């Protein structure tokens, strides 16, 4: 699994970037895991709008490989 993107702007001194495009390169199983993760996070944001901060894909899927990019959803 690889994630690529094009920089729009640097957000902070730590190197965080806002991207104007993101590309996921992976097998169908991992792409479906990402889709399911995003769907669950959308549901969590809707049901806990005032309490949701962020969540990592590794918090939902223990089988997400350690050498794959971490995916985080923030509200």
Confidence of residue 49 (pLDDT cuts 50, 70, 90): confident
Confidence of residue 45 (pLDDT cuts 50, 70, 90): very high
pLDDT at 24 over 90: yes
pLDDT of residue 59: 96
Phi, psi (rounded to 5 degrees) for 37: -60, -50
Confidence of residue 8 (pLDDT cuts 50, 70, 90): very high
What is the domain range of residue 10? 2-74
Q: Are 1 and 30 in contact (CB under 8 A)?
A: yes
pLDDT of residue 54: 95
Q: How many domains does the chain have?
A: 1
d(CA 44, CA 47): 5
pLDDT of residue 75: 85
* Cβ neighbours of residue 46 closer than 8 Å, sequence gap 6 or more: none
d(CA 12, CA 4): 19
pLDDT at 22 over 90: yes
């Amino acid at each position: 699994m690889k994630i690529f993107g094009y920089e729009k702007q640097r957000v902070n001194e730590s190197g965080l970037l806002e991207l104007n495009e993101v590309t996921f390169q992976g097998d169908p199983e991992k792409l479906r895991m990402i889709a399911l993760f995003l769907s669950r996070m959308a549901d969590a944001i809707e049901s806990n709008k005032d309490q949701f901060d962020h969540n990592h894909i590794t918090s939902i899927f223990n089988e997400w490989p350690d050498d794959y990019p971490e995916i985080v959803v923030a509200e």
